[in-house]
Amino acid sequence: MSYCRWSSDGMKCDVYVYEDVSGGFTCHVASRKIVNLHEAPHCPSLWDYQSCKDGKTSDEDMSDFMTKYRAWTAWLDTNAIRENINLEFDGETFNTDTATEMGNQLKMLQNMGYQVPDYAIESLWEESKENGEQAEI
């Protein structure tokens, strides 16, 4: 299960975090990011469509989604400008034993300037409480 990916939040995430099949939790930190996302077309989500919220996806909504998704990926292939992040942990990989430790690691990365979604940190800390760990802030 992943907590976030580089593609999360429309490519605005600098980490890929998941529960590792080998044990613990793993975080890969990006070394580059797209710096001109403000120029990109809207990154579509199926949640943008009412039919998905009702539990079904209409053919019309799916067709519209695919058109927007193709425009988004074409822009990524042809117009996205990627530059080095230039922070201390660029390109590093971390593995921790517990959800608490990974949540704390992500908070540290976020405080350093990496783009880390709050929901990933909160999910890890919530999971740590469910596992009887003490989440640290």
Pick the residue with more confidence: 58 or 31? 31
The pLDDT score that the predictor gives to residue 57 is 81
The pLDDT score that the predictor gives to residue 49 is 81
The pLDDT score that the predictor gives to residue 53 is 66
Q: How far is CA 20 from CA 27, 31, 61, 69, 124, in A?
A: 9, 21, 35, 29, 13
